[in-house]
Amino acid sequence: MNNEPGILYLCATPIGNLKDISLRVLDTLKEVDIIACEDTRNSIKLFNHFGISKPLWSYHEYNKYDKAEEIVEKLKTGSSIALVTDAGTPSISDPGEVLVKKCIDEGIRVTSLPGPCAAVTALSLSGLNTRRFVFEAFLPHDKKERAEILLQLEDETRTIIIYEAPHHLIKTLKELEDHLGDRTISLCRELTKLHEEIKRTTFSQALSYYEDNPPRGEYVICIEGKDTENIKRQNEDRYREMPLDRHMDIYLKQGYDNKESMRLVAKDRGLSRREVYNALLKGKDKGE
């Protein structure tokens, strides 16, 4: 009997074009003992295309906890198992996240076979800043949680990536415009497929377009981050509305001396330290 536990393989599968599957993924899917699929009905089409015949286990959002236990127990017996999602990389905005954590907790080796990912593909095509980005996947349906996320995104300076279904797209675009302003965005659908579409536009232009052209297919929305200079100006304006002596007190109460407090106040307000000093001196001369 094999005393060594098996390995969980996270196998990235095509997001559209079947030719995007890697040779390593194909070899692994042919060699493992079991393949766990988000939806066996979808995955079987891929496996039939490449002549892969293995026992398939269903692993999805609604059984992810109980099934993770079962998969881990099977791995403990030495079986090797591949995990695939309907499209893209398992465990990224996917129930596979639960299984990966469970395997790590149980000391079972997990390895990833990289490949297609809709978020990264869309970002690379967006024309927006790709050095720093934040992935939000689908926004929560819960109203309170959704509102909290949208509020957090208002001052996000990194490029934002969001997934959305066609029947929710217009509502989501309106909410995003209300919270973020009319920013530059990229809307991607049918990625890697024959009719791949990338619309580089703005929230207002997109909403106008979809009034006459109902959304079709799953979308990846890439949104430009908030301009750091704009944030700086807003902060400076907010601080300038505050009386200078009260602004100084904020830093003095934190233990900073007069000189350092003056430097920090000057930075907050976009002024020189000399300007702050003169304004404070003028206030004292007036007996304020």
> What per-residue confidence (pLDDT) applies to 235?
66
> What per-residue confidence (pLDDT) applies to 3?
73
Backbone angles phi, psi at 84, to 5 degrees: -125, 150
> What per-residue confidence (pLDDT) applies to 46?
96
Residues 54 and 152 in one domain: no
Examine residue 96 and state whether it is found in any structural domain, yes or no.
Answer: yes
> What per-residue confidence (pLDDT) applies to 26?
98
Examine residue 87 and state whether it is found in any structural domain, yes or no.
Answer: yes
Q: In terms of residue numbers, what domain contains 87? A: 8-116
Q: Which of 90, 116, 142 is the last residue of a domain?
A: 116
Q: Which of 89, 116, 143 is the last residue of a domain?
A: 116
- State the pLDDT confidence band at 58, using cuts at 50, 70 and 90: very high
Residue 139's identity, in one-letter code, is L
pLDDT in tens, 91-115: 999 999 999 999 999 999 999 999 9
Residues 199 and 258 in one domain: no
Beta strands (DSSP E) in the chain are 8-11, 34-37, 56-58, 81-84, 110-113, 133-138, 159-164, 184-189, 197-202, 219-223
The tokens of 22 are what? 């890697």
Residues 125 and 159 in one domain: yes
Q: pLDDT > 90: what percent of the chain?
A: 76
Helices within 132-286 (DSSP H only): 143-153, 169-180, 203-212, 228-240, 244-252, 258-269, 273-285
Tally the domains of the chain: 3
CATH number of the domain to which 87 belongs: 3.40.1010.10
Q: Which of 67, 90, 116 is the last residue of a domain?
A: 116
Contact in structure between 154 and 183 (CB atoms under 8 Å)? no
Query: Facing residues of 160 across strands?
Result: 134, 223
Rounded CA separation 210/188 (Å): 14
Which has the minimum average pLDDT: 138-147, 178-187, 240-249?
240-249
